[in-house]
């Protein structure tokens, strides 16, 4: 896991985002435990409190559950919830892209052409 101290995104959010992505893409399976809070804090050289905040965020979202004395494990992910999570990420990314395009002075057609080009590049891979 890679975190940045100076990108403006709180560290706990970077951690939660990374685990959320890993859970939603199946890298962490149902019932699998996340690294212990202390272990992750040590590995990332951050506060245990920061790590705990990230895990609590994932628990609020229903992605993980705390097990007394064992840590946090991944909940079963129903396919409809997974789809909604991914749709939300797409909407957020597209909204950010639209805002960046507006700031750059791109026209609607230029933005659409850029998206079409990028989608075409995905077809090649």
No. of helices (H) and no. of strands (E), the chain: 5, 2
Q: Residues 36, 71: contact at Cβ < 8 Å?
A: yes
- Please choose, from the candidates 9, 11, 38, 35, the residue with its C-alpha nearest in 3D space to the C-alpha of residue 22: 35
User: Quick one: three-class SS letters along 57-80?
Assistant: HHHHCCCEEEECCCEEEECCCCHH
Helix (H, G, I), strand (E, B) or coil at 11: helix
Q: Phi, psi (5° rounding) for residue 43?
A: -60, -40
Report pTM: 0.65
Outline where 1-125 has alpha helix (H).
Answer: 11-24, 37-44, 48-60, 79-104, 108-124
Q: What is the pLDDT along the chain (125 residues), one digit of tens a residue?
A: 888 888 889 999 999 999 998 988 889 988 999 999 999 999 999 999 999 999 999 999 889 999 999 999 999 876 677 778 778 889 999 999 999 999 999 999 999 999 999 998 876 65
């Amino acid at each position: 896991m890679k975190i940045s101290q100076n990108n403006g995104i709180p560290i706990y959010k970077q951690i939660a985002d990374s685990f959320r992505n890993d859970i939603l893409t199946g890298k962490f399976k149902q019932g699998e435990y996340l690294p212990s809070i202390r272990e992750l804090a040590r590995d990332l050289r951050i506060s245990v409190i920061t790590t705990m905040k990230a895990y609590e965020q994932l628990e609020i979202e229903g992605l993980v559950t705390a097990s007394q004395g064992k840590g946090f494990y991944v909940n079963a992910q129903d396919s409809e919830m997974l789809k909604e999570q991914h749709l939300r990420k797409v909407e957020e990314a597209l909204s950010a892209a639209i805002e960046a395009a507006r700031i750059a002075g791109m026209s609607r057609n230029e933005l659409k052409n850029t998206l079409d080009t990028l989608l075409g590049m995905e077809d090649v891979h």
